[in-house]
Amino acid sequence: MVGRMIDLVHRLRRVAQMAGDARRRTLEDAVRADGRGGRALLEQRDPREVAAALMRLCASLGFESLAHARRLVAWCRTLGEAAGLAGRELHALVLGAQVHDVGKLGVAKDVLGADDALTATELDWIRMHSSLGHAVLAGVAGLEPARELVLCHHEYWDGSGYPEGRRASQIPRAARIFALVDSYEAIVRDDVGYRARRDHDAAYDEICELAGVRYDPELVTIFRTLDRGAWAAVMDA
């Protein structure tokens, strides 16, 4: 068990090193600072604790806030349950939502934080994060199904996403749910400095307009039936 953890931490270090020495040192400091998370990663007894530790690690490194990650988890659970997910499938969705951006360890800080349009090379670097995250989680007990969400969370229904250009049912259902929720969150969140938050109705209209393009049309139909108050409650929590 310990050997598996050493391999995981070594893998995290190697991926972080792709973004430079400073990223690797920040990673190491964050792992040491999170005693509970460090133990969870070391022992790997509970995939839920491992996923939560990786979620906190991503927040410590500034990829996204914990509030953002927790909203994604809550909204994924809401839409997942409405779509009939239960048991292992729902569990994988929740875990995948927690660890979806772990591959950003390998993307340089100035690329992640760029306000200007990215160059083609920088865009390729950003798009690499889903494949990197998938590789990081290889062999982590209990996170195998979540890895597929990590790989496919930027795939779109019409095949225009990345990294593999999957389309329709080729995309795991959990990843299709996450893609819709992630877009909703991107529209309504209020912690992005370069643009104003929009409301639920704006998010609703945009997602409905892109049914069958970016999003699974069946999931959009389910999304339309959900009580907007449940979504607002997550944002206000």
In whole angstroms, what is the distance from residue 195 CA to residue 207 CA? 19
Check whether 5 has a pLDDT greater than 60: no
In three-state form (DSSP H/G/I as H, E/B as E, the rest C), the secondary structure along 3-72 is HHHHHHHHHHHHHHHCCCHHHHHHHHHHHHHCHHHHHHHHHCCCHHHHHHHHHHHHHHCCCCCHHHHHHH
- How does pLDDT run across 33-79, given as a tens digit for each residue? 998 888 888 788 899 999 999 999 999 999 888 988 999 999 999 99
Tell me what pLDDT residue 1 has: 46
* Residue type at 225 in one-letter notation: T
When the pLDDT of each residue in the chain is averaged and rounded to a whole number, the result is 88
* Helices 35-43, 21-33: inter-axial angle, 10-degree rounding: 100
**Pick from 232, 28, 20: nearest CA to 109:** 20
Q: Which residues contact 181 (CB under 8 A, 6 or more apart)?
A: 72, 75, 76, 79, 97
Residue 116 tokens read as 């200007």
What number does CATH give the domain 65-236? 1.10.3210.10
Band of residue 194 on the pLDDT scale cut at 50, 70, 90 = very low
d(CA 101, CA 221): 27
